[in-house]
Structure 1
Amino acid sequence: MQPYLSSYTDFVSPRFLFNKTPAKTSAEVVTPIMPDEGRPYSIATKCAAEFLALMTFVIIGSLQAALSNKNTDGVLNAALCHGVAIVVLVGIFAHISGGHVNPIVTLGIACLGKMPALEAVFYIVAQSLGGIVGSFLVRAILTHDQFVAIQGGATLCGTGIEWYQGFLAEIFTSMFLILTVFLYAVDEKSILAPLSIGLTVIFDILAVGAISGASMNPARSLGPNVVAAIFMNDKLKEGFWSNHWIYYAGPIIGTLLAVALHRLFFARDKRLVQ
């Protein structure tokens, strides 16, 4: 039986491409190795990579909204910017931290037993802080009027959309995203995993961007809301905070469903349906 893979490192790093030694089994956690020194990255370095990845992702995702706000292809623009950003960021940081760039990816990998729980907590904290710092940088780049026009880059439900519609949209798209991560980045050795994950982000945003905003990423939603509340608290749109919980509950539930489906159908020797 072909062993499981534990992180993005296994399909994008030079160590995987050129080293023919067997991958570790599902009971072991693969630690990213520096190609030149052959020693593990520290948890601080991994967290720093996730911090930078989320900071960059939030900056790109928020600034594109300033352009989207002025044209009729806002959802398409958001989909392409977020999706391509994921492809690039996963490729850059995969050999260091695994290139999660999303707390629910970290949660999903931890639920599969591929990552220590404490390390997952550190990742999520770093990702959340990266999102907040990225949002502060967005505020520094934009004028006050521009910042207000995009609501600080926050993820919001579309006009006339009820909370339960946005909630269900976040569950479905997050489940689809995490299943893609599992199948391309955990189970298989596909070097196309970053592209597959980025395309999934594009498809998800195109599908429900006008409904929930298609966050699928609690850290992406947290930072803009926190910073917008600081700089434009009197100009927040209706539902800015009252519906904010769906961008945490929805992705988490979607992730847990993806874990269950993976165990049910795709987990090879551990799957429940043979």
Structure 2
Amino acid sequence: MPIEDVSIETTEAAGPQKVPYWDPPPAPLLETSELMKWSLYRALIAEFVATLIFLYVSIATVIGYKDQSKALACNGVGFLGVAWSFGATIFILVYCIGGISGGHINPAVTFGLFVGRKLSLLRTVLYIVAQCLGAICGVAIVKGITGDQYSLLGGGANSVADGFSVVAGLGAEIMGTFVLVYTVFSATDPKRTARDSFIPVLVPLPIGFAVFVVHLATIPITGTGINPARSLGAAVIFGEAWKNHWIFWVGPLIGATAAALYHKLVLRGEAAKALGSFRSTSATV
């Protein structure tokens, strides 16, 4: 058998080759030089427009469903359709702007990435402002189109459902956001991407599905926030949804922080690495 044939067979038997990965350094806490870069403002515009579109599509779906089901409960898209609207819209938008801004479209995701040292404080604050303004504008467009129906049908605002306590609502928001941000970290992990480089996994897909399944679980409890901008936009335009609004900020921020720390310290083993470094240093003293 020719030598070249042997090498070919050996390579094929070895299976897919792993691609080396590179972890970017932690983002600086304060990076004012970003203010001089067009890439920052392009990212802010992308986050604003994407959040506007997200709120427009999702809140319009909620209002449409409630309008159609007024006479007969089986009319309209139902909870399943609402969940699909939120999840599929996120999938589309993350696909569209992921290469420009990272495709956060959610202050909780942005805050989680800040905790994970993926973003500077400046970019984090500006992203959250852009997302909140986009959400308000998106819901305002829905109100302008649907008219009186918007106010009569609750404005798509989040609230703790009857039969559930504030603590239960807070817990649902924490857990739902944990699932989402955990998925974001896992889907964008450079180590996982390199290890599974031979598997054609589209990053926005698991993120969109995470939003979808969390909505299925949480709509009956809080209407599903897991996105402070989404909750704020509906509350501002509806104007009557401020009771217990704080849980739609505190819950997602706690869930995002927990997911970021879990991924960073446990899954990526940074806690064990730090402990091992401490022990080795102590042994040489």
Q: Which residue of 2 aligns with 1:141?
A: 145
Q: Which residue of 2 aligns with 1:244?
A: 245
TM-score (norm 2): 0.76
Aligned length: 233
Q: Which residue of 2 aligns with 1:106?
A: 110
| CA-to-aligned-CA distance 1:149-193 (integer Å, 9 cap, x gap) | 332221222222221111100000101111000011234327422
Look up the equivalent residue of 1:201 and give its one-letter code.
V
Look up the equivalent residue of 1:134 and give its one-letter code.
G
Q: Which residue of 1 aligns with 2:11?
A: none
- In the alignment, is the contact (CA less than 8 A) between 1:165 and 1:212 conserved in 2? no
| CA-to-aligned-CA distance 1:203-247 (integer Å, 9 cap, x gap) | 111111100111100000101110111xxxxxx4xxx32211110
Alignment match of 1:213 (pick from 223, 230, 243): 223
Q: Which residue of 2 aligns with 1:55?
A: 52
The Cα shift of 1:122 comes to 0.6
Name the CA shift for 1:74/1:161 in 2 (closer, same or farther; >3 Å).
farther
Name the CA shift for 1:166/1:109 in 2 (closer, same or farther; >3 Å).
same
Tell me, in whole angstroms, the C-alpha distance in 2 between the residues paired with 1:108 and 1:41.
24
SS in 2 for 1:115: coil
Alignment match of 1:68 (pick from 61, 65, 69): 65
**Aligned ranges for residues 262-273 of structure 1 at < 5 Å?**
262-268=263-269, 270-272=270-272
Alignment match of 2:97 (pick from 76, 93, 99): 93
Q: Which residue of 1 aligns with 2:12?
A: none
Identity %: 35
Tell me, in whole angstroms, the C-alpha distance in 1 between the residues paired with 2:116 and 2:252.
16
Alignment match of 2:208 (pick from 192, 198, 207): 198
Tell me, in whole angstroms, the C-alpha distance in 2 between the residues paired with 1:101 and 1:263.
22
Q: 1:80 aligned to 2:78?
A: no
- Long gaps (5+) in structure 1: 1-20, 30-39, 230-235
Look up the equivalent residue of 2:237 and give its one-letter code.
V
Q: Which residue of 1 aligns with 2:279?
A: none
Look up the equivalent residue of 1:253 and give its one-letter code.
I
- In the alignment, is the contact (CA less than 8 A) between 1:171 and 1:254 conserved in 2? yes
Structure with the largest fraction of helix: 2
Tell me, in whole angstroms, the C-alpha distance in 2 between the residues paired with 1:181 and 1:46.
18
- In the alignment, is the contact (CA less than 8 A) between 1:262 and 1:271 conserved in 2? no
Alignment match of 1:124 (pick from 95, 104, 128): 128
Tell me, in whole angstroms, the C-alpha distance in 2 between the residues paired with 1:78 and 1:200.
14
The Cα shift of 1:60 comes to 1.0
- Long gaps (5+) in structure 2: 1-18, 28-36, 194-199, 277-285
Tell me, in whole angstroms, the C-alpha distance in 2 between the residues paired with 1:214 and 1:185.
24
| CA-to-aligned-CA distance 1:87-129 (integer Å, 9 cap, x gap) | 0000001111111111111111111111111011111100010
Tell me, in whole angstroms, the C-alpha distance in 2 between the residues paired with 1:271 and 1:90.
30
TM-score (norm 1): 0.79
Q: Which residue of 2 aligns with 1:12?
A: none
Moved over 4 A (4+): 21-24
SS in 2 for 1:156: coil
Larger Rg: 2
Q: Which residue of 2 aligns with 1:7?
A: none
